[in-house]
Amino acid sequence: MIIVKTIDIFSFILNLYDKRFCYTSLERELFVNKFSEYKFFNENFKLLPDIFSKTDLNANVVKIFSDEVLDKNFLNNIFMRFRPFRKGPFSVFDIFVDSEWKSYLKWNRFIDKIEPIHKKTVLDIGGGNGYYSFRMLGEGAHEVFLLEPYPLFVSQFCIFQKYINAKNIFLLPMAFEDVELKSEMFDTIFSMGVLYHRKSPIEHLEKIFSLLKKGGELVLETLISDTDVLFPKKTYAKMNNIWFIPSCDMLLTWLYRIGYKNIKCIDISKTTNFEQRKTLWMNFESLDDFLSSDLNKTVEGYPAPCRAIFTAKK
């Protein structure tokens, strides 16, 4: 059983920051750039009690449990202050955090089709609240580095990590474009649900290439289009931060031009409202609100979301 004493969220994040491979200063990001955003989450994070806990990171639902008698209403109330939860689900002391995405569906599509990550050093770009990073630990990864710039999702991760207390997970609470990392340090890099948010997708893929060890693997999950490249005029599925949505063939060409080898598309799946939907823990608009009545197009008239998963080697 494990226990972590409650400290403020700023100290918690700094304790998870590994300076061995990262050359970017974290203090300014926390105490200047985003201090006001973290202040609210810090006040609530400090209310979390210290609990002896156990974990199961190998199931569809990441589980944290305890033999202690707990005030679950109090805990539920605190957790609710950190909504919306996008990735999951989690079960925390029998409180079911029913996230917007059933993230295990994506996980199960690729986990048996990629190189094993057992004893590997792994980077999870845009890892959100850490669902996939914790699953990577469950697969026996040697070290997992989670990159996530948004204070809400970083704070959610801190809640889960407080009780999981994994010794081999490290947090980089910054955008991938803003962080300077040591070259060729990762065996596997995951970029899932990130590429279409980048104004320069080629630079994103090139930077990943530079960070992979020779023979290392990229696992890339992204929206795809039935045209060479879809560039929305304003929004796509009500999202105003969508830039380039390539076809499978176009993305394969991008990867080849950069220098990746053994490039494969291992899955194509249309996003459904079984996988992505509104819940008590994500009580804002979700997929059904982004699509036309027949679910075949977005509200803007573009093809409905379809996602593909690619693997590629350096």
- For the domain 9-313, what is the CATH superfamily, name and number? Vaccinia Virus protein VP39 (3.40.50.150)
The arithmetic mean of pLDDT across residues 136-147, rounded, is 98
Euclidean distance between CA atoms 260 and 254, whole angstroms: 9
Q: Which has the minimum average pLDDT: 12-21, 81-90, 203-212? A: 12-21
141 conformational bin, left if phi > 0, alpha if psi -120 to 50, beta if neither: beta
| E strand segments, 52-158 | 54-56, 62-65, 90-92, 95-97, 121-125, 143-147
Residue 235, token pair as written in the block: 């929004």
Distance CA 34, CA 36 (A): 6
Residue recorded with tokens 């340090």: 185
Cα angle: 100, vertex 196, 24; to 5 degrees:
90
pTM of this structure: 0.95
Report the pLDDT value the prediction gives residue 305, as an integer from 0 to 100.
Answer: 98
Q: What are the boundaries of each domain within the chain?
A: 9-313
CA dihedral (10, 55, 65, 273) positive or negative: positive
pLDDT tens per residue across span 30-75: 777 788 889 999 999 999 999 999 999 999 999 999 999 999 999 9
The CA distance from 65 to 71, in Å, is: 13
